Amino acid sequence: MTAVRNWLGEDWEAWCMLLVRRRYGAEQVQVVPAKHKGDLGIEAFTYDGCAFQCYAAQEPIPVSERYEKQRDKLTRDLAKLENKQAEFLKLLGTVRIKRYLLMVPFFDSHELVQHASTKSDEYRKKNLGTLDSDFQVVVVDEAAYADEAEALRLRPEILVDVPDHTRADIQTWKQANELAVETADRKLRPLIATDPQRLSVLESLITQYIKGENALGSLRQKYPDNWELTRRYRSHKESLLVLQYPTGSLNITSLAQIAKEIDDELKAAVPAADSILRTTLAWASIADWIMRCPLDFS
């Protein structure tokens, strides 16, 4: 049996609106809020004549019950096209509805399609001023918007916040990790001779390391799949460091180049990661490799 997600009604509606905007373009979609003076039976419409109603039955339920709930929802909301015709005329302006789409997560009864066809013919014969002469009711599920859904799921978003840290946090970490700090300082010394500048760079690297590690912890807890993609990338990158950046081939300006390279590669390896998270993880990786020795300058 096919597993069906049990959507909450408002979550399904929000997801549908994202799919519709992605398909038709945000400037072509007018959302119709229902909080003030009731529901008109559509969630949105496009200026080329598509109207959308979203419905998610509470799952899991038998095929027959799912069909009946979807059928009855369609019947009730279509009736509003006639019962509230005056309000629709004001709402739509010059737009005439050509396609009325019932958007459901899943449907598995041909009788629902038959019902939609019957209602299409019924409402065409009513000659309503809001409907096009080619009016048709269409039942669509999430699979009909598979490309849009995939693009939305892969779009960069804020998976986790990258927290800031106080100087006290940095000092506490340095005191608890003296050997790592000494290793990093020793490596940076031939590149940055003056103490103030070197210590400033070292503290910035440690800050990025702490922020990156905390972000990774949150990522592992909230989005384990994306955390695993990140972990695999970093492990692969570390295994190539000695080949890509041989000892003696790097200088301080190389760090920014490496960070940019990691950022670009993370974008491909973890498409859902936003730019702030990628940048933080890039510098956190560099700091980690400097403190643990895989990356050396001398």
- Predicted TM-score (pTM) above 0.85: no
Largest CA-CA distance found in the chain, in angstroms, rounded: 86
Spatial distance between the Cα atoms of 292 and 298, rounded to a whole number of angstroms? 15
Query: Among 154, 180, 205, which residue terminates a domain?
Result: 154
CB contact at 8 A, 88 and 38: no
262 inside domain:
yes
Q: Which domain, by its residues, includes 108?
A: 9-154
Verify that 137 and 246 share a domain, yes or no.
no
Measure the CA–CA gap between 143 and 141, rounded to whole angstroms: 5
Identify whether 4 is part of a domain: no
Number of neighbouring beta carbons within 10 Å of residue 261: 13
108 falls within a domain: yes
Q: Do 147 and 171 share a domain, yes or no?
A: no
Q: Is residue 2 part of a domain?
A: no
Domain boundary pick from 129, 154, 179: 154
150 and 202 in one domain? no
> What are 142-154's pLDDT values in tens digits?
999 999 988 877 7
* Domain co-membership, 126 together with 172: no
- The pLDDT score that the predictor gives to residue 188 is 87
| 19-35 per-position pLDDT tens digit | 999 999 988 999 998 76
161 within some domain: no
**Same structural domain for residues 231 and 178?**
yes
Q: Look at residue 3 and tell me if it is in a domain.
A: no
Tokens (6 digits) for 241 = 């460091």
Q: Which of 122, 154, 186 is the last residue of a domain?
A: 154
Q: What's the number of domains the chain is made of?
A: 2
Query: Are residue 139 and residue 172 in the same domain, yes or no?
Result: no
Task: Looking at the structure, tell me whether residues 226 and 149 fall in a common domain.
Answer: no
3-class DSSP assignment, residue 51: strand
Residue 290 or 297, more confident: 290
138-177 burial code (b ≥16 CB/10 A, e <16): ebbebeebeebbeeeeeeeeebbebeeeeeebbeebeeeb
Same domain, 118 and 191: no
Evaluate whether 53 touches 101 at the Cβ level (below 8 Å): yes
* pLDDT, position 156: 57
112 and 249 inside one domain: no
| Partner residues linked to 101 by β-bridges | 52, 138
The torsion region of residue 29 among left (phi > 0), alpha (psi -120 to 50) and beta comes to beta
User: Is 191 in the same domain as 222?
Assistant: yes
Q: Which residue has the higher pLDDT, 192 or 103?
A: 103
226 and 128 fall within a common domain:
no
What does the DSSP 8-state code read for residue 246?
-
- The answer as to whether 1 is a domain residue is no
Is the pLDDT reported for residue 158 higher than 80? no
| Statement to judge: residues 17 and 146 lie in one domain | yes
DSSP E strands in the chain: the ranges are 29-31, 44-46, 50-54, 97-103, 131-140
For residue 213, being part of any structural domain is answered with yes
Give the per-residue pLDDT at 37.
52
**Which pLDDT score, from 0 to 100, does residue 35 have?**
60
